[in-house]
Amino acid sequence: MTACEPIPQVKDLPPVLDPCCGSRMFWFDHKDKRALFCDKRRAYRITDVGTPGTIGRKPVIVEPDQISDFTAMPFPSNTFALVVFDPPHLASLGSSGHYAAKYGKLIGDWRDELRAGFAECFRVLRPEGVLIFKWCEYEVPVSQVLALTPERPLFGQRCGKQAKTHWIVFMKPTSQPTPSIPLPVRADDRERVDEKYGWRRGYSDLDRAFGVDWGNSE
């Protein structure tokens, strides 16, 4: 387990946490004060080695605000309003290669590592806080990863040239769920709504897209 540095007082923590920030590639502002950037490593790797295709490349710099392991974070429960979870998605890498430096590497049993990561992210989230999860299906299908958390995603989006990168949004449930109040909809109205908007079809399509059994959604 990676040793964690002393953390600031809870009242001094920003509302956003990036627990495995890497080189902060998708952040507009790499020094955004609204976020706390964490990783279990610091790294500097030169990528411009003078060969075609590397000339002009910026070095990979991993310089977190706080050293911590996303499987055992040093923060109190219910602390952050938003957590963005972008864990390493590659396991079959050497420890010193370019992609290992850029993305990090899954070590050991990646299922146990990611299961613990999901649990920790939800633990440090405030009730009704938002978790944004990013995953690239280069080696492991997203369906296998989503099966590692009992929490149910709200919605998601694919991107990338081959549509292998997924952005998936969760919301942490409250400790006391708010009871839903059913609307007075007549049976014939329900059938027309289902036919027009495809509620049942939409849920089954979502299940098939992610390959996860989320139970009966109706």
Domains of the chain: 10-176 (3.40.50.150), 183-218 (no CATH)
Contact (Cβ atoms closer than 8 angstroms) between residue 165 and residue 158: yes
Query: Rounded to an integer, what distance in angstroms lies between the CA atom of residue 145 and that of residue 16?
Result: 23
> Using one digit for the tens of pLDDT, what is the confidence trace for 116-164?
999 999 999 999 999 999 998 878 889 999 999 999 999 999 887 777 8
User: What percentage of the chain reaches a pLDDT higher than 70?
Assistant: 60
State CA 110 to chain mean position distance.
15
pLDDT above 50: residue 214? no
Q: What share of the chain is helix, strand, coil (3-state, %, to 5)?
A: 25, 20, 55
Does residue 11 or residue 199 have the better pLDDT?
A: 11
Contact (Cβ atoms closer than 8 angstroms) between residue 73 and residue 67: no
pLDDT confidence of residue 54: 61
Does residue 63 or residue 91 have the better pLDDT?
A: 63
pLDDT confidence of residue 202: 40
Strand partners, 68: none
Q: What is the mean pLDDT of residues 182-190?
A: 44
> What's at 78, amino acid-wise?
N
Long-range contacts of residues 7-11, Cβ cutoff 8 Å, at least 24 apart: 7/66, 7/68, 7/74, 7/75, 10/75, 10/76, 10/79
> Using one digit for the tens of pLDDT, what is the confidence trace for 94-123?
455 555 555 556 677 889 999 999 999 999
Query: Rounded to an integer, what distance in angstroms lies between the CA atom of residue 42 and that of residue 62?
Result: 5
**Burial (CB count <10 Å: 0-12, 13-18, 19+), residue 69:** buried
**Alpha helix segments (H runs only) across 50-186:** 98-103, 110-124, 142-146
> Using one digit for the tens of pLDDT, what is the confidence trace for 151-177?
999 999 988 777 788 999 999 998 755
Does residue 49 or residue 72 have the better pLDDT?
A: 72
pTM: 0.69
